[in-house]
Amino acid sequence: MDKVALITGVTGQDGAYLAELLLSKGYEVHGIKRRTSLLNTDRIDHLYQDPHEQDIRFKLHHGDLTDSSSLIRIIQQVQPDEIYNLAAQSHVAVSFEEPEYTANSDALGALRILEAIRILGLEKKTRFYQASTSELYGLVQEMPQKETTPFYPRSPYAVAKLYAYWMTVNYREAYGMYACNGILFNHESPLRGETFVTRKITRALARIKLGLQDCLYLGNLNARRDWGHARDYVEMQWLMLQQDKPEDFVIATGVQYSVRDFVDAAARELHLPIRWEGEGVEEKGMNAQGKCIVAVDPRYFRPTEVETLLGDPTKAKTKLGWEPKTSFQELVAEMVCEDMEAAERDELVKRHGYRALNHHE
């Protein structure tokens, strides 16, 4: 019998890569998506199968992490061998604006799934993966951060994820469930949400290059992150559920760059050299013609910031043989390339109006 997996957050960046990976391994994949007024399945449309076909391997269910009854119903119906809990209000800055909702979805959401597994008597059948985060380290206590580094969360998002982390550990110890945390450092891709800093940079610089936008406004340029590729990281999410016993793992590249470094790397890909001048909120990135194309806007500063994160993936390497395949430069190049293609399409429409796309006219 093929394995059955259930993915929460299937419409998100990781959900899309993970669904693709599990389908390629022969899984029957179920995803939970929430109801939205506009379609939100762009990232997984290529995996969609007409429900009228025979032998459907990829199925979507309406549900929400804030709604226990929908979760219990779906888990009962699907009887999954593996649940990947990827759904979350995942934006750190937004969590300061919506702390209560963030706690409801990110902290209690994980609890609701763990309880659903217990209520349905699936503790011995269903393996559980929790999308934990390097944000747990927050105000870092040790460089680099590994599985034993103490946590110090610095946002409502991170505090909510801390609750989910410990609930996962507690259900493993209390009920003997196969439940584990992947402590993932930042991972990006062309599918990354447009308001996270990497995608914001690659998208804006591509548009600036084509004259569709004048300036990119950013917050803390000095923040340092350990950035990997989402495609490599979902492989590890799967591997973590295939072991003899459940354990928590740090997933990272072990290399860190600043936000400013990311801007420079993306600009280099676009042959758009940037010269930095000024300091603090006055810092600016100038193009070759002396025009400001990157500026600091304090509205993007966070009430409490995580200044530096650097992961030590030694445990994942030695115990699971996992290593990231994509370098920082390759990641930036792939993101820039896709955003340049999107900008070129927009520029075409701007230049020729809708006629260029409507050949039947």
Token couple for 149:
């580094």
Q: Answer yes or no: 133 catalytic.
A: yes
Catalytic one of 17, 84, 129, 157: 157
- Helix (H) / strand (E) element for 77: namely helix 68-78
Residue 217 near residue 301 (C-beta atoms within 8 A): no
> Does residue 9 bind ligand NDP (CB under 6 A)?
yes
Q: In the stretch 190-209, what mask flags binding to ligand NDP with x, by CB under 6 A?
A: ---x----------------
Largest Cα–Cα separation, the chain: 67
Angle at 39 between CA 36 and CA 42, to 5 degrees: 130
Cα separation, 39 vs 41, whole angstroms? 6
220 sits near ligand GDR (criterion: CB under 6 A) = yes
The Cα–Cα gap between 286 and 272 comes to 10
Binding of ligand NDP by 310 (CB under 6 A):
no
Out of ligand GDR, ligand NDP, none, what residue 87 binds, judged by CB under 5 to 8 A for its kind, is ligand NDP
Residue number with the smallest Cβ distance to ligand NDP:
12
User: Does residue 134 touch ligand GDR according to CB under 6 A?
Assistant: yes
Residue 31 near ligand NDP by CB under 6 A: no
CA 112-236-21 angle, 5° bins? 85
Active site residue 135: yes
Comparing CB distances to ligand GDR, the nearer of 58 and 151 is: 151
**Residues 199 and 212: beta-carbon distance below 8 Å:** no
What does 302 interact with, of ligand GDR, ligand NDP, none (CB < 5 to 8 A by kind)? ligand GDR
298's tokens? 């304090």
Would you put residue 203 in left (φ > 0), alpha (ψ -120 to 50) or beta?
Answer: alpha
Nearer to ligand NDP, 13 or 145 (CB): 13
Q: Does 196 bind ligand GDR (CB under 6 A)?
A: yes
CB of 130 to ligand NDP, least distance (A): 9
Q: How many other CB atoms sit within 10 Å of the CB of residue 298?
A: 10
Residue span binding ligand GDR (CB under 6 A) among the ranges 28-36, 214-222, 330-338, 341-349: 214-222
How many Å apart are CA 315 and CA 246, to the nearest integer? 14
Residue 135 within binding range of ligand GDR, rule CB under 6 A: yes
Q: Does the protein bind ligand NDP through residue 162 (CB under 6 A)?
A: no
Closest C-alpha to 137, from 124, 146, 125, 127: 146
Give the pair of three-digit tokens for residue 19.
Answer: 């669904």
Q: Which is closer to ligand GDR, CB of 30 or CB of 192?
A: 192
* Cα dist from 222 to 40, 258, 261, 263, 307, whole Å: 33, 6, 9, 11, 7
Q: Which range touches ligand NDP (CB under 6 A), out of 58-66, 264-272, 278-286, 330-338?
A: 58-66
Cβ 169 to ligand NDP shortest distance, Å: 17
Query: In terms of DSSP bridges, do strands 127-133 and 82-85 run parallel, antiparallel, or are they unpaired?
Result: parallel
CA nearest to 171, candidates 235, 241, 135, 124: 124
Interface with ligand GDR by CB under 6 A: which range of 21-29, 35-43, 69-77, 87-95? 87-95
Applying CB under 6 A, the residues found at the interface with ligand GDR are 90, 92-93, 133-135, 185-186, 195-197, 200, 218-220, 223, 225, 259, 300, 302, 305-306
Catalytic residues: 133, 135, 157
Instruction: List interacting residues with ligand NDP (CB under 6 A).
Output: 8-9, 11-15, 34, 36, 40, 64-66, 86-90, 105, 131, 133, 184, 186-187, 193
